[in-house]
Amino acid sequence: YLAIVALQGAAATSGRPLTPAPARPGQPHLRSGTTSRNNWQALAIVERCTHLVILGLCTRDTLESLRVDEWAAIRHRPEPATNNGRGAILWRRRRAAQVGQIIGAGYSPRITCLAGLMLRGLQMATKIRYILDPSLGFATGASIAASFGHREWLKCMLIGWGAGGAYWTIFRVKPP
């Protein structure tokens, strides 16, 4: 997923070189506008890489959930339940996820990721793409917030949305 986002970022620069343009024959140094533009491009690359690292750190457990198609609340064995401690909350969360999985009421991580992928397809196939096109910074911020709130389903949706960009581009999905 992170490689797909990096490739999309490389395509967004339109192949422009990040090295300064050569000086004109009569000028000993570069124009300040060219240097300033290159500095902004370099800063944008650093910012994108920082977002990708933070996103990777926040979603590594979610990627494992997608791989095994089982929520982290079920995979991780909580500490023994105590009366009012954190262990009791984790035990209840794990138990609720197991019951939902048994009766089929809950969605698996892959289905949640697929929902994000389909929403991205809908966005790319309609004119909504001109109004709603969140950045990588939004995905990073939302992922941090989902980690803080212990909401793995939101990170699965974000991964599906991000992967959907490359997926639907392969099929040349465009607005009518």
Q: Which of 143, 161, 141 is nearest to 58 (CA)?
A: 143
Paired tokens of 52:
């990708």
Q: How many CA atoms lie within 13 A of 30 on its CB side?
A: 11
Local confidence pLDDT in tens for the 176 residues of the chain: 444 544 455 444 444 444 555 555 555 554 555 667 788 888 889 999 999 999 999 999 999 999 998 888 777 765 555 556 666 767 777 777 666 665 555 788 999 999 999 999 999 999 988 888 888 899 999 999 999 988 888 999 999 999 999 999 999 999 88
Given this model, what pLDDT does residue 93 score?
72
Q: Which amino acid is at 86?
A: R
pTM, two decimals, is: 0.67
- For residues 84-96, one letter each, b for 16 or more C-beta atoms within 10 angstroms of the residue's C-beta and e for the rest, the string is eeeeeebbebbee
Given this model, what pLDDT does residue 32 score?
52
Given this model, what pLDDT does residue 115 score?
94
Q: Which of 65, 85, 79, 46 is nearest to 159 (CA)?
A: 65
